[in-house]
Chains A and B, each alone.
Chain A
Amino acid sequence: MKLSKQSIQVETGKRLKSAGVLLVAGLLSVSLIGCSKAIKYGDAAEVETTTTSFGSTDLQQIAAKMVDSVLTFPPIVEITSKRRPVMFVDTIKNKTSEHIDTESITDTISSRLLRSGKFRFVDMTKVAALKKQLDYQNDSGMVNQNTATKMGQQIGAEYMMYGNLSSIVKRNSSRKDVYYKFTLKLIHLQSGIVEWSDEKEIRKSKEKSLFGL
């Protein structure tokens, strides 16, 4: 078969085009492989300084300071030496400009206080679920009443823990400075007396690097 000069040029062009597509695809796949990031586990206890925003190290520092403080405050030491008072945790008001899960901070603090063996807690976030289960056991007719948990036997909390987290952010062209202040208080419900209070301050700053990166 005799091919014209024009058809040979078209054929060569198609081959070159497909080779080009293959080359681009190859380069793309190589670059994608090159860009893939290795996933690894890190130490949750390490100091984290990715940004100046509220981070895990701030949470851990706050929890450690607050727990140590409440456990060694003389009047609290005296109270907890004879019994394990019951307390509940109210919300921690987030007064910063960031979105911070303050419940996570109080979860850590209450877990450590509970595990110290000095305090007991009632969980106000689970009241509805408890009521539902007690209603089922007592009113549904499904549960043997000899084994049902009786209503009205729960222990009332004696203390309430509450507090707030605030921040002051300052910045200029080369530096950003963030100051956090976490305040936690323990109030005696019956008398309304604040039995304990403490603060934890954290300062974080970020300087712009030499090349402004």
Chain B
Amino acid sequence: MNIVKLSALLSGVVLLAGCATSGMEATGKTEGDPAYAKHLVIHNEPLANVITITDMRSRFKGGLLEVNIELSNLSSSDKSIQYRFSWYDGDNFEVEQGSRSWIPVVLHGKSSVNMQAVAPNSSVTTYKVNVREL
């Protein structure tokens, strides 16, 4: 392999490694709400092909909304992902905006992980979780 081909290959690898991907977004209402619904908005097809939200549960504990989301890795390779919860009140205003940071987590191949979080206060009725690849 000549130097030109090698450098082209290396720059391709660097570009791929450096590419930050966006993620998927899931929102859900609390189970007490008659309009309970959960849906998944996928912004990134390649990511959604290998990482998927397999379960979303929520409950009230001590007046605070507690959420558990199961994320599964369909591929056999480990995936480094980040997730972030955001919280909304009954009027769909974000509660404690910016208080939650992105949490890094390693999702091992063919395994799942539970992302758990508790609402910052009792005014929260809805949540949103964003997941993206590192």
Chain A: residues with CB nearer than 8 A to chain B? Answer: 44-47, 56-57, 60-61, 64, 67-68, 71-72, 76-77, 80-81, 112, 115-118
Q: Are B118 and A67 in contact (CB under 8 A)?
A: yes
Q: Are A68 and B116 in contact (CB under 8 A)?
A: yes
B63, B64, B102, B134: the one within 8 Å of A45 (CB): B102
CA distance A192 to B96 in the complex (A): 34
B residues 81-134 in Cβ contact with A at 8 Å = 82, 84, 96, 98-104, 116-118, 120-122, 134
Q: Are B117 and A64 in contact (CB under 8 A)?
A: yes
Q: Are B118 and A72 in contact (CB under 8 A)?
A: yes
Contact partners of A81 in chain B: CB under 8 A:
62-63
Q: Are A64 and B103 in contact (CB under 8 A)?
A: yes
Contact partners of A72 in chain B: CB under 8 A:
61-62, 64, 66, 118
Interface range for B: 20 to 34
Q: Is the interface of A mostly helix, strand, loop or mixed?
A: helix
Contact partners of B82 in chain A: CB under 8 A:
47
Contact partners of A45 in chain B: CB under 8 A:
84, 98, 100-102
Q: Are A71 and B62 in contact (CB under 8 A)?
A: yes
| Shortest CB distance A113–B (Å) | 10
Contact partners of B103 in chain A: CB under 8 A:
47, 57, 60-61, 64
Given known contacts A47-B104, A116-B64, what 10 new A-B pairs fall within 8 Å (CB)?
A45-B98, A47-B82, A57-B102, A61-B101, A64-B101, A72-B64, A76-B62, A81-B62, A81-B63, A116-B121
CA distance A46 to B104 in the complex (A): 10
Q: Are A115 and B61 in contact (CB under 8 A)?
A: no
* A-B pairs with beta carbons under 8 Å apart, 21 shown: A45-B102, A46-B102, A47-B82, A47-B104, A47-B134, A57-B102, A60-B103, A68-B116, A71-B62, A72-B61, A72-B62, A72-B118, A76-B62, A77-B62, A80-B62, A81-B62, A112-B99, A116-B64, A116-B120, A117-B121, A118-B62
Contact partners of B102 in chain A: CB under 8 A:
45-47, 57
Q: Are B101 and A57 in contact (CB under 8 A)?
A: yes
B66, B104, B116, B120: the one within 8 Å of A112 (CB): B120
Q: Are A77 and B61 in contact (CB under 8 A)?
A: yes
Contact partners of A76 in chain B: CB under 8 A:
62
